[in-house]
Amino acid sequence: MGDIRVGGNHNILFNVYNVELQPVVGSGNEFFVTAVHQKPRETTATSSSISGKGSIMRLCRYEHQGAVQIGFYDEEFVVSLSTLASQTGSTVNVADSLLPFLSQGNARGDVRELEKGWGKLSASEQNSLKISVDQVKLLVPVPSPTKLLLLAGNYAAHINEGGGHAEERANTFPYVFMKPPLTTLTHPGDAVKIPAVSPNFIDWELELGIIIGKRCHSVAEKDALNYVAGYTVVNDISDRKFKPNPGRVKREKDGFFDWLHGKWHDTFCPMGPCVLPADEIADPQTLKMTLKVNGETEQDASTALMIFPVAAIVEFISSYVTLEPGDIISTGTPAGVGNAKGKYLKAGDQMEAYIEKIGTLKNPVE
C-alpha cells in the first residue's frame, strides 16, 4: 500500500500493487495515472536453470539436422526436450508445437519433470546435451496462430512523441488491429525485407508478445493471466508513409488505411527467440525492454509503463472475441521509434529487440 500525492494538496491512498504516474506538463506537481497493475500472482518457477546461472527455464522451437524440435533455450545453446527425456528416463511426447509445454498446456507437468531431471545430471552429462545456437535455426514460437493481434498507442510517451495526447486509462480503451500472420511472422535471425513498393520510411517497434494458452471469452482482469501460456518478443515493423496510388482522390479514411496497410508488408513481424512460460514470472509488468539498431539504443523502457497491462488487454479483447490457444497479442510499443527522430531502417541494418527474462530477438534488414 502506498501514499501517492495527486494534484498538490490531495492525498489518495491506493491499495494496489503498482501505480504508474506521468506529470501533467506545466502543472508543477500534478500527475495523472497512466497505468495500474494488479498484485502479482504466485509463481511456480523452480530453482532449476538450463544455464546454471540462476535463470529461469525458457522454451523454443528450432530446426536441427532437418527436423523441427522443442527445447530449453539459453542465449548460447538449446537442449532438446526429447533427447533430455531419453537421457533422464522420462516419458515425454514431443511434437513440433510449444503450446503443450507452456503454462496451461497438458504437458506442462512433463516439463517440470525434465527440469528436475536436468538438475540431477552431472556437468559433463549436461554439456553433452547442449547444442550451440549457432548450429540450429531458431523458429517463431507459434508458426500459425489463428489470430495475430496488436495494440496501437499503449504507452503514453509513445503517443506523445507522435504528436498525440495520452488519455488516462479510465477515459479510453485499447486500439487493436491485426497483421496477416503467415506472411508477416519472421523467424529470429531472418531478414526484414524493405518493400520495393515503399522503401524509405520503415520503422521498428519493440513489443511484449502474449501467447494465449487456454480458450477464453469474457474473462475478468483479475483472472486473465490464468489464460496466458507465455511471453515472447515481437518487433512490429511499420511503414510510416505508405501511400498507395499517390494521385488518388482523397477520402476520409485514407490516413487510417495507409497506416494499417503499412503494417502488413511481408516479414514485418519478427517474433522470438523463445517463450518465457507465464508461470515463470509473477508479474509481466516489471520487465525492462530495449531495442538497438546497429548497436545504438533507440528504445529503453519497461512494461510497467503500459496504459493497459497484460491482464486488462486480455479482458478487453476477450469481451468481444473468443481467444484460442496459440493466439498472439502484441501489447504496443514504448517511446523511441525512428519516425519520431527522422530515422528509418535501411538494408544492412541490424536490430536487437530485448525484453528482460525473455531474451534478444535479432534480425538483419535487407
Residue 158 corresponds to which cell in the numbers above?
509513445
Radius of gyration of the chain (CA): 21
My answer on whether 133 and 222 are in the same domain is no
49 belongs to a structural domain: no
46 belongs to a structural domain: no
Question: What CA dihedral angle connects 52, 53, 54 and 55, to 10 degrees?
Answer: -100
Instruction: Read off the pLDDT of residues 300-329 as tens digits, 9 standing for 90 and up.
Output: 999 999 999 999 999 999 999 999 999 999
Number of structural domains found in the chain: 3
Longest dimension (CA), the chain: 71
Dihedral pair phi/psi, residue 211, rounded to 5° = -110, 120
My answer on whether 230 and 160 are in the same domain is yes
Domain of 97?
Answer: 58-139
Instruction: Read off the pLDDT of residues 73-111 as tens digits, 9 standing for 90 and up.
Output: 999 999 999 999 999 998 888 778 999 999 999 999 999
Residue 161: its pLDDT value, please? 87
Say if residues 291 and 354 touch (Cβ distance below 8 Å).
yes
47 belongs to a structural domain: no
Say if residues 213 and 102 touch (Cβ distance below 8 Å).
yes
My answer on whether 257 and 320 are in the same domain is yes
Domain boundary among 104, 139, 174: 139
CATH number, residue 353: 3.90.850.10
Residue 104's Cα: distance from chain center in Å? 18
Other CB atoms within 10 Å distance of the CB of residue 33:
18
51 belongs to a structural domain: no
My answer on whether 204 and 349 are in the same domain is yes
Run of H or E residues at 234: strand 228-235
My answer on whether 159 and 267 are in the same domain is yes
Strand bridging mode 185-186 / 269-277: parallel
Whole-model pTM: value is: 0.87
Measured CA to CA, the distance from residue 277 to residue 108 in angstroms comes to 10
Model confidence band, residue 259 (pLDDT cutoffs 50, 70, 90): very high
Question: What CA dihedral angle connects 269, 331, 280 and 287, to 10 degrees?
Answer: 100
